[in-house]
Structure 1
Amino acid sequence: MVKRIPLRQPRGRLYRASACVIRSALRLTTRKDWHGMHDMPAEGGFIAVSNHVTYADPLTLAHFLYNSGYAPHFLAKSPLFEVPMFGTILRKTDQIPVHRGTVRAKDAVDTGMKVLDSGGVIAIFPEGTLTRDPDLWPMVARTGAARMALLTGVPVIPVAQWGAHRLLGRYSKVLKPFPRKRITVMAGPPIELDDLRARPLDNDSLREASTRIMDTLTVMVEQMRGEKAPVVRFDMRKKTG
């Protein structure tokens, strides 16, 4: 049985209540196959990066991090914060909206850096959206996670996962809670980025950091699936695999 580790940082009543509801629902519908939860940083802020296959991924990632002793702040698309009641919960629990393609696009990074400076944990899906790879492999990432990592110098912890798509298919709105689905989540050692932090923060550095993040997550997903990922990673900008 995987026991919950006490939270490193206290959070408000609504956050704890929301976590309790999510944990209870996932205990009924999933079976934990978790690895590495005792090997993550014992102190200081860090960025948890994960692959993204289904809209259920934030819940299963939050479950893993919360039981590991962390109360993560998720970066999420700004339209979600406008959804009645759900948006209120996101705002009241200090999740971070991402305003893509607007003059406020930088706000998410600035807010995330403040969270990290205070010793908090940022959870982010570097791809920025559900993978478009036809076989659900990690695709080319956006540079937001890399930018935050290089600016702050905090550890970037890969937390790969596999199985949540059986609970809620990609783009599906129909839950399949029974029988309980096995969810594999694995945390790994920090991704090596120190050499890039010594370089100017330019597009080359951001792309290299993003590639290292996705390379690490892909290897971990390969291990979970017992398969090899495609040699060429799917790139939404090129619309090819």
Structure 2
Amino acid sequence: MSQHTSEKTPIFRFLAVLLLPFMHLVARYRIHDGDRMPKTGAFVLSPNHYSEIDPVVIGVVMWKLGRMPRYLAKASLFKYPVLGALLRASGQIPVERAGAMRGNDPLVAARKIVDDGLAVVIYPEGSLTRDPDMWPMRGKAGAVRMALEADIPLIPIAHWGTQLVMPRYGKRISLFPRKTIHVKVGDPVDLSAFRGKPLDGQALVTATALVMDAVTALLEELRGEKAPAQRWDPSKNNQKETGRF
């Protein structure tokens, strides 16, 4: 994509008309260090995840910063006629929630987006955090795998306040009073030790831990408190994980 070509294509402008008025009604957005998000070129954006409305919030933030999001989205969402059409038109990538993909690996589909110089949002936790206090839990390898295989930056980002708009596991949006959502963009995670080397299981685990450390540090700044020394691990707390990556 040309350096001077806006990513705000007609489909994203249409989505903005649909979503932005409502999202601005329910919340104001305070973006910290937004200049750290690359203005051009491909990158992976890795946010924390604790509310079903998180992807919309991140989409609003990216719109404000001039970049358009492409998500690895639940394949079931594509089955709804209108929603599915909008997801496909805006370049979102369907991901099956359980078992192997019947078609291509979704990261292969994401690679096409990366080749076009666009941004891919990959939640490193794979699903809503199970941590009781909504700190980031153990991560999965999808984000670092994408960044390393495509040799692109991985940008951590954290937000806090979204839970006031829609609680974790909640289905209803709180309209009033208007909430404030704080968002902080981080510097690219230093993955230089892993680039150009075989991506075995241990390398991916170690690199993913660096990403989770970066996201957690940003969230600590927003919350003004320290995260637990031990990151929540669903497999050790008798909780089933639903995310594929």
TM-score where L is the length of structure 1: 0.92
Deviating runs (4+, > 3 A) in structure 1? 7-12, 103-106
Q: CA deviation at 1:106?
A: 5.1
Is residue 30 of structure 1 aligned with residue 12 of structure 2?
A: no
Q: Which segments of 5 or more consecutive residues in structure 1 lack a partner in the other structure?
A: 1-6
Identify which range, 66-75 or 39-48, moves more after superposition. 39-48
Tell me the alpha carbon deviations over residues 33-53 of structure 1, each in whole angstroms, 9 at most, x when there is no partner. 111222322321011110001
Aligned equivalent of 1:236, options 218, 223, 234? 234
Is 1:199–1:205's contact at 8 Å kept on the other side of the alignment? no
Which residue number in structure 1 is paired with residue 135 of structure 2?
Answer: 137
User: Cα distance 1:105–1:172, how it changes in 2: closer, same or farther (>3 A)?
Assistant: farther
Which residue number in structure 2 is paired with residue 165 of structure 1?
Answer: 163
CA distance in 1, matches of 2:115, 2:203: 22
Tell me the alpha carbon deviations over residues 197-217 of structure 1, each in whole angstroms, 9 at most, x when there is no partner. 132111111111111111100
Which residue number in structure 2 is paired with residue 180 of structure 1?
Answer: 178
Q: CA deviation at 1:105?
A: 7.2
Q: What do you get for the CA RMSD once the two structures are aligned?
A: 1.9
Question: Counterparts of 1:201-220 in structure 2 under 5 Å?
Answer: 201-220=199-218
Tell me the alpha carbon deviations over residues 69-121 of structure 1, each in whole angstroms, 9 at most, x when there is no partner. 10111111211222342222111211011124214475210011111121000
CA distance in 1, matches of 2:169, 2:47: 18
Q: CA deviation at 1:191?
A: 0.4
Question: Counterparts of 1:44-193 in structure 2 under 5 Å?
Answer: 44-100=41-97, 101-104=99-102, 107-193=105-191
CA distance in 2, matches of 1:106, 1:206: 21
CA distance in 1, matches of 2:43, 2:73: 17
Letter in 2 for 1:143: A
Is 2:39–2:67's contact at 8 Å kept on the other side of the alignment? no
User: Cα distance 1:38–1:8, how it changes in 2: closer, same or farther (>3 A)?
Assistant: farther
Is 2:157–2:215's contact at 8 Å kept on the other side of the alignment? yes
Letter in 1 for 2:155: I
User: Cα distance 1:105–1:35, how it changes in 2: closer, same or farther (>3 A)?
Assistant: farther
CA distance in 1, matches of 2:196, 2:88: 35
Aligned equivalent of 1:18, options 15, 19, 31? 15
Which residue number in structure 2 is paired with residue 194 of structure 1?
Answer: 192
Letter in 2 for 1:49: S
Is 1:234–1:240's contact at 8 Å kept on the other side of the alignment? no
Q: Which segments of 5 or more consecutive residues in structure 2 lack a partner in the other structure?
A: 240-245
Q: CA deviation at 1:172?
A: 0.7
Residue identity over aligned pairs, in percent, reads: 39
Is 1:139–1:233's contact at 8 Å kept on the other side of the alignment? yes
User: Cα distance 1:164–1:74, how it changes in 2: closer, same or farther (>3 A)?
Assistant: same
CA distance in 2, matches of 1:105, 1:183: 37
CA distance in 2, matches of 1:221, 1:39: 16
Q: CA deviation at 1:222?
A: 0.8
SS at match of 2:155: strand
Is 1:9–1:71's contact at 8 Å kept on the other side of the alignment? no
User: Cα distance 1:105–1:217, how it changes in 2: closer, same or farther (>3 A)?
Assistant: farther
User: Cα distance 1:145–1:136, how it changes in 2: closer, same or farther (>3 A)?
Assistant: same
- Report the count of equivalent residues: 236
